Amino acid sequence: MPIQVLPADIAAKIAAGEVIERPASVVKELIENAIDAGARTIRLEVEAGGKRLVKITDDGRGIAANEVPLAFARHATSKLSTIEDLFQVKTLGFRGEALASIAAVSRLTFITRPEQQVAGTLIRLEGGAQQTLAPTGAPVGTGVTVENLFFNVPARLKFLKADATETGHIHRVVSHYAMAFPEIGFSLRSNGRQIFQTDGSGKLYDVLVTLWNLDTAKQLVPVSGRTESGLTVDGFAGNPGLHRGRRDQIIFFVNRRWIQDRALGQAVAQAYHTFLPVGRNPVAVLNIQLDPAEVDVNVHPTKAEVKFKDPRAVFAAVQRPVRQAVLQESPLVRPAQPWATGPSPQAARFGLDMQRPLPTETAFERQETPAADDQRMPPMRVVGQIQQMYVIAEGPDGLYLVDQHAAHERILYEQMMARQAQAAVAGQRLLSPALLELSPAQAALLEAEQDTLRAVGFEIEPFGGRSYRLLALPRILGHTDPVAAFLGVLEEMLEGAVPLARQTHEKIAVIVCKRAAVKGGQTLSQEEMKELIYSLEKCRNPRTCPHGRPTMLHMSAYQLAREFGRH
């Protein structure tokens, strides 16, 4: 094929694909425009996860009538005029691509009015082509309605996720900007239902109470630091008792721009060294304020990543005040010694359950389904346990080291899926209902997935607003704190931490089984270890847990003999 210049509409769609990945990308760009326009109130409505509708209205400065068509030209911006301005960016937007990119892949209506104009201006575009331009009545500010996103790029549309998933991405974007700009009142509605609303009080703590609930906010401690160069770090970090399975609640803003930076995440993680259980991550919301000339924001199409002129200095500037806040919150906690054999001081301090008995009645119900031929395990003899984590067993051809948590996850998962196939998953009713106060994200997820949660044994009913009553939970979670178990399941669902499961009910089953399974650090009796190995032998896929991790390591008799010099 000879070299040729692409038609303008194809080039526009390609360019839009770099900026607009999903409905949440539309929301991000439009919110940034509203903030740059000085808005004090930003209201957002979405339908069908933003695929059918994204509508955002603000009370910012608006755009003059004669500039409205130009706003939809590619690389048209009021925020840069010289190349030097690119290295001193003080606004969230600056490339002049957002409106053109959104309009290229949607049906867009734009109404705006600056304070000095009597009437507003309305413009409609379809696939980037202008359809209407006329004066209209409008309040001061701007309203943007984006309908049928990707209607003219069906290949992109089919790669979007379920409505609940896309709504979750939108919630994440709006909530992050509400944290970065607590002086702005944000509201988000989805399919006619209010998800959350902040009051624009100017206090980050008030926003965190709204987004995360009061109990979580009470576990946050203020963080404040300043370097000799004038760089400041402010925000909140969780006390050592507040931690998560993933790092998505370590949130950074640079000059109030929401960014993602692995190195800064590591700085916060290191600040909690020796204070958190293995595999858990802290919670933090931090704004780094520094000279715009010290950071390059023009390194990523969506402006999600930045490049610091002195990354080591920024790393230290973040780590130091967070560590100080953690130490002040936990003055009596001593770091665990690497040779300690029992529960560490912080394990006792933060309630790590190191010796909980292994559930026996439902956890190891004998299952006679034969294993697949390529997964079949030989009968094994239990030898013992090491580090309260691994069961040592002997087989016909050598030694097996079994991860007790991964193995138990596999056993519980296959039992639960077998019961689901027979519509026989049993729930255990609570003696008295437990009251739950959910965050907006948790409530939205519960609303979308309530039927699937019920199918695995949870029973929940509304109790007004974002309050719910937990009436029952899966029987295999009967030995756990019901509220903590249910909220933990919701947390992992929001984090999307089960990439290998294909269906939502599989994901929930994996999460439930992970929480119910015996943990590393628990001492098992000889009988419990025997029952664990026996049940694992009966599984169809005994060699991996539902997440895909191995349940065991095998060292053959030949390998053992070779290591001891017998071959």
Cβ contact 365:418 at 8 Å: no
Which of these, 183, 181, 180, 213, lies nearest to 196 by C-alpha position? 213
Report strand pairing: 467-474 vs 459-462: antiparallel
Give the integer Cα–Cα distance in Å for 171 and 44.
10
Could you name the CATH architecture of 8-200? 2-Layer Sandwich (3.30)
Annotated domain spans of the chain: 8-200, 219-329, 373-554
Helix or strand or coil: residue 325? helix
Whether the model clears a pTM of 0.75, i.e. scores above it, the answer is no
DSSP H/E element including 18:
helix 8-19
Give the integer Cα–Cα distance in Å for 290 and 226.
10
Cβ contact 251:261 at 8 Å: no
Query: Can 219-329 and 373-554 be said to share one CATH topology?
Result: no
Cβ contact 284:235 at 8 Å: yes
Give the integer Cα–Cα distance in Å for 472 and 338.
41
User: What's the pLDDT at 197?
Assistant: 95
Per-residue burial over 73-101, b = 16 or more CB atoms within 10 Å of its CB, e = otherwise:
ebeebeebeeeeeeeebebbbbbbbbbbb
> What is the CATH topology of the domain spanning 373-554?
formyl-coa transferase, domain 3 (3.30.1540)
User: What's the pLDDT at 465?
Assistant: 80
Place of tokens 């390591």: 553
Give the integer Cα–Cα distance in Å for 57 and 113.
12
The count of residues in the chain is 567
User: What's the pLDDT at 511?
Assistant: 79
User: What's the pLDDT at 458?
Assistant: 86
Token code pair at residue 411: 């056993």
CA distances from 320 to 232, 323, 324 (A): 11, 5, 6
Give the integer Cα–Cα distance in Å for 528 and 534.
10
List, in sequence order, every residue forming a beta bridge with 474; answer none if it has no partner.
Answer: 427
75: left (phi over 0), alpha (psi -120 to 50) or beta: left
- Enter the CATH code of domain 219-329: 3.30.230.10
Non-local (6+) Cβ contacts of 7 within 8 A are: none
Give the integer Cα–Cα distance in Å for 217 and 221.
9
Other CB atoms within 10 A of residue 344 CB: 19
What sections of 37-82 are H helices per DSSP? none
CA distances from 82 to 86, 88, 91, 95, 519 (A): 7, 10, 15, 12, 59
Biggest CA pair distance of the chain: 95
Q: Mean pLDDT, consecutive 10-residue segments, the chain of 567 residues?
A: 62 60 94 94 96 96 94 69 53 72 94 96 95 96 96 88 88 95 96 92 95 90 93 94 85 92 90 78 94 78 76 92 85 36 34 36 38 63 91 89 91 82 72 86 80 84 87 81 83 59 64 82 90 89 81 86 80
Non-local (6+) Cβ contacts of 67 within 8 A are: none
Give the integer Cα–Cα distance in Å for 139 and 142.
8
Give the integer Cα–Cα distance in Å for 158 and 11.
20
Other CB atoms within 10 A of residue 345 CB: 15
DSSP H/E element including 468:
strand 467-474
